[in-house]
Amino acid sequence: MTPREIEDRFEEAALTLKRLPNPPASGARGYGRSWPDYVHEARHAYGYEPARMRVIPNAREIQRMEEVLDWLALIGGETEQTAADNRRIVWMRAEGHRWQTIYRHVGCVRSTAWRRWTASLLTASKTLKNLEKKPARSVGAKSTGAEPGVRPRGGGANGMP
């Protein structure tokens, strides 16, 4: 995959994560917050506000998002803090934040943030290409000797070679 394709996949994953349902009562409640919210006005009680349409992602989109979230582990740095900052830069950029917000949040100048973002995408691209080249072989799989181009050795049931 090219760095541009990886960037697009990160943006798609950020959008999918944003579209996942998150009801208001799904988070942690503070002290004394076990009661439901009180409705102060009648116009807010029975749906007088316009309905908001929310498109929930399907299973394939969620699976692609989870795959991309695993790619964040491929992004590293000299120290653990640098690796975390690089991952933060890539994810904030995928969410569509402006560079000014990103470099202020990470604590570096714009050119350094851009350089780290580019290097992180290139690193992820190279690592994914290397993973694609390696043959998928299950752990503990034994060779049967029946692979193409391999002749069995010694005198088995067929006699001498």
Question: For position 77, what pLDDT does the model report?
Answer: 87
- Average pLDDT of the residues in 29-54: 67
3-state secondary structure of 156: strand
Cα(72)–Cα(151) distance, integer angstroms: 44
Cα(117)–Cα(144) distance, integer angstroms: 46
Q: Which tens digits make up the pLDDT trace of 56-94?
A: 899 999 999 999 999 999 998 899 999 999 999 999 999
Instruction: Provide the percentage of residues in the chain whose pLDDT is more than 70.
Output: 67
Question: For position 47, what pLDDT does the model report?
Answer: 64
The residue to which tokens 């009801």 are assigned = 23
Question: For position 1, what pLDDT does the model report?
Answer: 86
Task: Give φ, ψ of 108 to 5 degrees.
Answer: -145, 175
DSSP one-letter code for 54? -
Q: Supply the mean pLDDT for the chain.
A: 82
Q: Which of 44-48, 91-95, 117-121, 150-154 has the lowest mean pLDDT?
A: 150-154
- Average pLDDT of the residues in 8-27: 85
Bridge-partner residues for 156, per DSSP?
159
The domains of the chain are located at 3-21+55-129
Count CB neighbours of 92 within 10 A: 20
Highest mean pLDDT among 29-33, 37-41, 140-144, 152-156: 37-41
Cα(48)–Cα(42) distance, integer angstroms: 9
Contact 113, 105 (CB under 8 A): no
Query: Within the chain, where are the H helices?
Result: 3-19, 42-45, 59-71, 80-94, 99-106, 110-133
Q: Which tens digits make up the pLDDT trace of 98-120?
A: 999 999 999 999 999 999 999 99
Q: Record the pTM.
A: 0.69
Cα(131)–Cα(101) distance, integer angstroms: 33
pLDDT higher than 70, residue 149: no
Question: For position 32, what pLDDT does the model report?
Answer: 59
Question: For position 143, what pLDDT does the model report?
Answer: 54
3-state secondary structure of 12: helix
Please give the distance of CA 148 from its chain centroid, rounded to a whole number. Answer: 38
